[in-house]
Amino acid sequence: MPRSQAGQTVEPEACKLWIHCNSCCALFCDKKHTFFLLACHHVFCERCVKVSAGRTPSDAPIFECSTCRRSVRGRQLTNSMPNHFKQLFHPEPFTIGNDFVETFQRGNHRHFDKYKERKELEMDKLFKDIELPSPCARNASWRRRCCAWSARS
């Protein structure tokens, strides 16, 4: 089982939490979709990857990257990938001493963190929109209206 820098055991699934579709942000660890790594180093799920007309993602040799708009080769993320591709998803990139792998993972972490921040802001806004005033505030409002009405009488 992988270990963190502090020597703690890390769950294998927890190591995969950052792997996500660069378009819809679906998570690889949910195992709901097939994922593809494109030669431009963008990752997409089967729903978002763009292929030539009449092809399915699993048999298409060339993909259209919706992030960088290039036509590139790609491959499905599986355990049977060559090791140099698997290293991009290594749970502890600092242990293999490959700067490219660390840069790849850092970029994907950053992208996913921005997505989570956007979702948190959306949730905060929704919670503020549905917050009801406290009973004290409602009573104070009612008293003001009541006092204003009785003053007119």
At residue 2, the pLDDT reads: 42
Flag whether 6 is in a domain. Answer: no
User: Does a structural domain hold residue 3?
Assistant: no
What are the helix and strand counts (H, E) for the chain? 4, 5
Distances in Å between the Cα of 14 and the Cα atoms of 17, 27, 75, 92, 145 are 5, 12, 23, 12, 56
Instruction: List the chain pLDDT tens, one digit each, 153 residues.
Output: 444 444 444 444 545 667 889 889 888 888 888 999 999 989 999 888 876 555 666 666 788 888 888 888 888 888 888 888 888 887 776 666 678 888 888 888 788 888 888 889 998 888 887 776 656 655 666 566 655 555 555
In this structure, is residue 95 part of a structural domain? Answer: yes
Total domains in the fold of the chain = 1
Specify if 5 maps to a domain: no
CA angle 64, 78, 112 (to 5 degrees): 60
Q: Determine the Cα angle at 137 with ends 131 and 142, to 5°.
A: 120
Residue 107 in any domain: the answer is yes
Q: 17 is in which domain, residue-wise?
A: 12-152
- Cα 1 from chain centre: 24
Supply the pLDDT for residue 36.
92
